[in-house]
Chains A and B, each alone.
Chain A
């Protein structure tokens, strides 16, 4: 048994909006890079995953 004997509901609260924005920026950068690579592959070779 828990020493406290109670389960308390917790609310997720971001630690810092700054780091959230940094993570979002990192995700956006990775996503833009993937889109750019997909664009180049599609328009240069006509496919995304196969070797023509």
Chain B
């Protein structure tokens, strides 16, 4: 065996071992494409099945969505109708609220005026009560004076009765003495002369006439000009009204104001308002004496 043959045998063996090692290493580390294929196919089948189920679910969801949309559209339509009705009701309620607020404001002003009037009337009532107290005090004093005067009067009446009895007795004695004197003188043909009494007879006491007399003109307010504080009464110079006269305006038992006459016509007179407690109205009573 030549050396070349030996060398080739060795090289062949080495190269065979080397190449077989490479082949074995490659085959041992090669991927199992069949297994991968099977797994991928099963995964694809699973995904396909999942896709079908998801498609079915999607279709079902779409159908449910359509039904829900229809029902929601119906509900929206009904809710729109309800909203329109509620808006109309709200408008009505707001209008009623505005009217009620207006009425409340008017009632508040009326209540305020009523409160003011009540306060004024309360003050007037208190003043009247105070005046009544004073009048009662004066009445008590006058009653006491009346009682004293009555007692004095009774005493004086008793004195007068006794004096009148004395007077009658004296008159009877006088007539008796005159009768006797006439009888004595008739025998001598004479008559007794009647001499006037020394004490003059007093006349009856008469009440003294008062120095003043109320005019007592009564009239009615016919026109009122509150801005200029002027008023017109229904009596004029034909009834005796003169400039400078003062009319007292009353409404029932309530004092309203005074009217100082500044211009007089035949049937009416114009005056300035004074001591205004309340604005006078046409038809109020006006008189010169309360």
Give the chain A neighbours of B33 by CB distance below 8 A: 44-45
Q: Are B32 and A44 in contact (CB under 8 A)?
A: yes
Decide yes or no whether A32 CB sits under 8 A from chain B: yes
Closest B residue to A16 using CB positions: B1
Partner of A33, one of B1, B6, B23, B34: B23
**B interface, over-half SS:** helix
Task: Give 5 closest A-B pairs by Cβ, nearest first.
Answer: A15-B1, A33-B20, A26-B13, A26-B16, A29-B20
Q: Number of A-B pairs whose CB atoms are under 8 Å?
A: 50
Interface residue tally on A, bucketed by range: 10 to 19
Whole-angstrom CA separation of A3 from B6 in the bound complex: 32
Decide yes or no whether A48 CB sits under 8 A from chain B: no
Interface residues of B (CB under 8 A from A): 1, 5-6, 9-10, 12-13, 16-17, 20, 23-24, 27-28, 30, 32-35
12 contacts between A and B (CB under 8 A): A14-B1, A19-B5, A22-B9, A22-B10, A23-B9, A25-B17, A33-B20, A33-B24, A37-B23, A45-B34, A46-B34, A52-B34
Q: Which of A29, A40, A45, A46 has the most CB of B within 10 A?
A: A29
